[in-house]
Homo-oligomer: A and B are copies of this chain.
Amino acid sequence: MHEEIKDILKRNNLSVTGSREKILSLFLSKAGALAHGDIEKKAGEKFDRVTVYRTLQTFVDKGIIHAIPTADNSIRYALCKDDCSGGHHHDHHIHFVCNHCGNTYCLDDVVTPEVRLPNGYTTSQIEVVVEGTCKACNK
Contacts and interface: CB of A to CB of B under 8 A. Distances in A.
Interface of A: 67, 69-71, 73, 75, 94, 96, 99, 107, 109-110, 113-135, 138-139
A122 B138 contact: yes
Nearest to A105: B121
B115 A94 contact: yes
Copies of this chain present in the complex amount to 2
A112 B129 CA distance: 11
A132 B125 contact: yes
A19 B123 CA distance: 37
A112 B109 CA distance: 19
A103 to B, nearest CB: 12
B135 A120 contact: yes
